[in-house]
Amino acid sequence: MRFDDLVKQHAAALYRYAYWLARDRQQAEDLVQEALLRAWRGFALLREPAAAKTWLFAIVRNEHLRSVGRQSPPSEDLDDELEIADEHDAVAALEMREALLALPASYAEPLALQVLGGFSCAEIAAMIGASEGATMTRLTRARQALRRLFDPAVARGKARG
């Protein structure tokens, strides 16, 4: 596998994940660029081509963690962020965004890796340095928290029928 092929295959998903982490377009682009530079430098050390996607996502995550101390929080520009056709979709997207931001990072990050990256529980556990059981618990709690936020019956403790 060539590095160029790897970048073409995963660039869009890496950007989506970086954007989710940074919540800023320019910062996400910078994160991906720095991560790909690090990946290019270490590409010869990659022993398992099947692990390339996980490896790249981990590099983006580590770059984000490095950058957090170097930069001030990003300003939020909702006009740039929302590329949605109608007002109903825009409202739903804003509600979902706010709900995800309300989740503790320990729940939101595994959920983002699963939804945006398509990673398995085992892959997520390895990336965040947690056990598979802890990762499954975090994913379940994240989904439960979102369900409570979006379904008033669940929030009141009533069973749905």
Domain identity same for 4 and 65: yes
- DSSP calls for 120-132: -HHHHHHHHT--H
Task: Using a cut of 0.95, tell me whether the model's pTM lies above it.
Answer: no
Inform me whether the pLDDT recorded for 84 exceeds 50: no
Domain identity same for 72 and 137: no
Per-residue confidence (pLDDT) for residue 159, from 0 to 100: 52
Rounded mean pLDDT of 40-49? 88
The structural domain count of the chain equals: 2
Q: How confident is the model over 125-149, as pLDDT tens digits?
A: 988 889 999 999 999 999 998 888 7
Task: Point out the domain boundary residue: 27, 45, 76.
Answer: 76
Domain identity same for 58 and 95: no
Q: What is the CATH number of the domain that holds 118?
A: 1.10.10.10
Range of the domain at 22: 1-76
Rounded mean pLDDT of 67-73? 62
Q: What is the CATH number of the domain that holds 63?
A: 1.10.1740.10
Q: Which residues of 10-29 are buried (b: 16+ CB within 10 A; e: fewer)?
A: beebbbbbbbbbbbbeebbe
